[in-house]
Structure 1
Amino acid sequence: MNTSDAVPTTRLVWAVENLMALCLAVMALAVFVNVVLRYGFGTGVAASEEVSRLLFVWMVFIGASVAYARNEHMVFTGLLVALRRRRELLAGLTVLIRLLEIAACVALAWGAWQQVLVGLGSHSVVLGYSTALLPLPAFLCAVAIGAMALWRLLRHEPLDLGHGADVE
């Protein structure tokens, strides 16, 4: 990858990380204010729970997309150790693994889209936003990860087994 390719990606990652940080900050502030009002003054902000839930769902799925793009998603070290020893097996399984990733993304996108359609007809109780906003990030995440997996499959990109941390 040359440096001209890295600049847009770096800016995009920076923007997405800042969006996630903003979601986290708003959630923390909303929950903190609600706790202080509830225990200190016997009142609270009814919208705090809805805002926090909505932002948390969006933040999780944005983070999942970024983690996949960076090859920082969860791995199973037992499988990795076995595959590192058998490179020829790993090369053959790479296509299968990518196809399974794409299939999982299609299934997730389909289910999430069905939930988006269901949510179009209803609104949240307190704020009144369309409840289609809750499953929408799952759909967008599945599309993004599916597109990345397809791109990696078409480029014959090998699986990245260089994870620094062990996960069991």
Structure 2
Amino acid sequence: MKRLCELYFKLARVLLALLLSGMVVLVFGNVVLRYAFNSGLTISEELSRIFFVWIIFLGATVALAEHGHIGIDFVVKNMPRPVAKAMAVLGSLIVLGCCVLMLSGSYTQSVINLTVVTPVLNWSMTVYYGAGLFFAVVAIIIILVDIWRVLADRPAIAIGAPARERAATGEAPR
């Protein structure tokens, strides 16, 4: 299971790089075409917008798994261990609730917009709301694993942490 998670996060990082590269090429190419040749690609704007939405949500799953999001932990560090664990679980449950709401809302919007198509590509608008669905499902899994780790007194090693971070925390290499 752990290897599957590592494979997913490695694939996610590669996909993020490809999406970002594609977005840069599309936008830069469109700017050059507009200013140098007085033309442009209408597909460029729409495709780069889709890439941007997916970059945001895919990157958010990677950041969540690596605990790379902004956190203020100086208060929790000064609490007794049982209270700190309770606060960590409470915080995770609140985020889990938000992710469930996001899942519900993204699913509803995906169903509503299933037959609505984008203006240029004629793709279903679900391609936008599917990013929210994807994020919510992956985030729920990550948060449940984090809650289990806190309750089971396991070390707080991020699921998708790069090897150098695992080595720094003392986790055995594979």
The corresponding residue for 1:118 is 112
Is 1:148 aligned to 2:138, yes or no? no
Q: Which amino acid aligns with 2:99?
A: C
**Distance in 1 between residues matched to 2:102 and 2:2, nearest whole Å:** 29
Deviation (angstroms), 1:95: 2.1
Task: Give CA-to-partner distance per residue, 1:117-136, whole Å, 9 cap, x none.
Answer: 12202000011010111011
Size of the aligned set, in residue pairs, is 156
Equivalent residues in 2 for 1:42-61 (5 A)? 42-61=38-57
Q: Over the residues paired in the alignment, what is the CA RMSD in angstroms?
A: 2.3
**Distance in 2 between residues matched to 1:65 and 1:144, nearest whole Å:** 7
Q: Which amino acid aligns with 2:33?
A: L
Equivalent residues in 2 for 1:1-168 (5 A)? 7-76=3-72, 80-88=73-81, 89-155=83-149, 156=151
Compare 67-76 and 103-112 and name the one that shifted more.
67-76
Question: 2:76, 2:87 within 8 Å by CA — same for their partners in 1?
Answer: no
Question: 2:16, 2:55 within 8 Å by CA — same for their partners in 1?
Answer: yes
Q: Equivalent residue of 2:144, what SS?
A: helix
Q: Gapped runs of 5+ residues in structure 1?
A: 161-168
Q: Equivalent residue of 1:113, what SS?
A: helix
**Distance in 2 between residues matched to 1:151 and 1:15, nearest whole Å:** 20
TM-score of the aligned structures, taking structure 1 as reference length: 0.84
Deviation (angstroms), 1:6: 5.2
TM-score of the aligned structures, taking structure 2 as reference length: 0.81
**Distance in 1 between residues matched to 2:106 and 2:5, nearest whole Å:** 27
| Identity within the alignment, % | 29
Q: Gapped runs of 5+ residues in structure 2?
A: 157-174
Task: Give CA-to-partner distance per residue, 1:84-120, whole Å, 9 cap, x none.
Answer: 1113431221221121121011011111111111220
